[in-house]
Amino acid sequence: MFEIGTTLRDARVRQNISLQQAEDDTKIRIKYIQALENEDFNQLPGDTYAKGFLRTYAGYLGLDFQILLDEFNERFGDGEYREHVIQPPRTAKPKEPHKRKNYVFVAILAVAIIAVLAYLGWGNSSSEKPALVTSTTASAGTDAQTQAAPAGSGQTGTETAPAETATTETQPGVLQSIVFKSSSSNNWVEVYKDSAMKQVIWGGTLAAGDSKSLGSADLQSADAVWLDLGSIKGLVITVNGQDQQISRGGLYEVTPSGLTSAGG
């Protein structure tokens, strides 16, 4: 067993790196760096944050993150660390049998009513030509009615009701994609499945010129995820193909319509 905090602090001091310089380079706040070096992990928001910060800080100091992580899990954590959490696919709920029976009953009833009406119509038929003939056709949202002119009027013609169509455009109900692009500085980013920030979908630090794309498979067809940002300098975020406006780092909720600041 070894001291995680002492290992981190000694590595920083050996390289003559101040706390302020470490914060500027890693985008991790000084109070969190001090918490790591003092092994005061209660000052961090949770195990997920602790492991994320530890990974970034260890890489920055040139230390083996896996060794530090194993020590952290043995002494402080739950013994496992997963960057990707895969949920089982959702399956459509089958229709209940009684509903299918209802549909069959309604169809049989409709056929019976049509048969009775047809019988009554034939029984009352006469040799005289009817004065008015009406035909109605309905298909896919279009109603058309054709009416003959009264007998003996000398006029024939048709009246057709105009077709009515309606088109409704809707936004996608789930997240299709989130894209991160860094142009001028290192940006620390983590994406979570839920607001409790326990299920990490992806996390990492983007160097200048790097980008990361998360598709619908990565986002697990979610209608919302949570995003935690460090520095936003030079960072561009696109949600479902739309560029987002971000004014500061911190916590955001991501929905199909875009980003909403959640504080942090």
In a 3-state reduction of DSSP, which class is residue 63? coil
Is pLDDT above 80 for 146? Answer: no
The strand pairing partners of 178, in sequence order, are 214, 239
Structure-token match 């309606």, residue found: 166
pLDDT digits (tens, 9 = 90+) for 162-174: 444 444 445 567 8
* pLDDT for res 78: 56
Sequence-separated (6 or more) residues with CB below 8 Å from residue 102: none
Please compute the mean of the pLDDT values over residues 227-248 and round it to a whole number.
84
Cα–Cα dist 157/147, whole Å = 7
What angle is formed at CA 27 by the lines to CA 226 and CA 227, rounded to 5 degrees? 5
pLDDT digits (tens, 9 = 90+) for 192-234: 787 767 678 888 888 788 888 989 888 887 888 877 777 778 7
